[in-house]
Structure 1
Amino acid sequence: MAVLVVNQGAEWNQELYQATFDRAIPDRTNPPAGLVAHFGAPGEGGGWQVIDVWETEEQFRRFLEESVIPAAKALGAPPFDSQVVKLYNSLIP
């Protein structure tokens, strides 16, 4: 079942997000298996947020553990919070 993932980092900014993204997904023409959509933007109260849609939570967790966390650690990035919810409905025109 598809999931919506909301990642928020109060101490993150655009530069740190971009550096982590570039390490985690070095070839944008070859996205990770299961990724449906990805959005990065400033957080409303500061920091940075990333919102993804994944085919399954397992695919998200695999990518997080194998790519995102190692990339963030290599950059000395602060931690971020992740929330995962099952999608009820979606519309992609």
Structure 2
Amino acid sequence: MAIVVTFDVPDGGRDLYETVIERVTGGKGFTRLSDIPSAGLIAHVAGPMEGGGWRVTDVWESPEALEAWAKTLGPVLADLGFADMQPSITPAHNVVVA
């Protein structure tokens, strides 16, 4: 079952996002889903929130795929001072991709 994972980072912004991407991709950047070193990512969207902050929303194939990704993402977030950040996770009813 696909899941939707959303991180709202009120104290974050584009610079923090780019730093995370730099670290998790080993400096390769993120322009394709395959750039993320974990299988199961279906979609990714990131951008500013109204009123400030940054939002990242992913669709993962399964909770297990997210758990595997968390093993890479978690230490990076902890190193940047965001160890306690918890995403909102909801089941996806329908996922359509191009």
Question: TM-score w.r.t. structure 1 length?
Answer: 0.83
Q: Matches of residues 10-89 of structure 1 in structure 2 within 5 Å?
A: 10-26=10-26, 27=28, 28=30, 29-31=34-36, 32-64=38-70, 66-77=71-82, 79-89=84-94
Identity of aligned residues (%): 29
Q: 2:83, 2:13 → 1: CA distance?
A: 11
Q: 1:79, 1:46 → 2: CA distance?
A: 20
SS of equivalent to 1:81: coil
Q: Please provide the CA RMSD for this pair.
A: 1.8
SS of equivalent to 2:12: coil
SS of equivalent to 1:33: coil
Query: Number of residue pairs matched?
Result: 92
Deviation, 1:44, is 1.7
Q: Which residue of structure 1 lines up, in the alignment, with residue 96 of structure 2?
A: 91
Q: Structure 1 residues 73 and 39 mapped into 2: Cα distance closer, same or farther (>3 Å)?
A: same
Q: 1:88, 1:80 → 2: CA distance?
A: 25
Show structure 1 runs of 5+ residues with no match: none
Q: Structure 1 residues 13 and 79 mapped into 2: Cα distance closer, same or farther (>3 Å)?
A: farther
Q: 1:42, 1:80 → 2: CA distance?
A: 17
Show structure 2 runs of 5+ residues with no match: none
Contact kept, 8 Å, 2:74 with 2:83, in 1: the verdict is no
Deviation, 1:39, is 1.2
Q: Structure 1 residues 43 and 80 mapped into 2: Cα distance closer, same or farther (>3 Å)?
A: farther
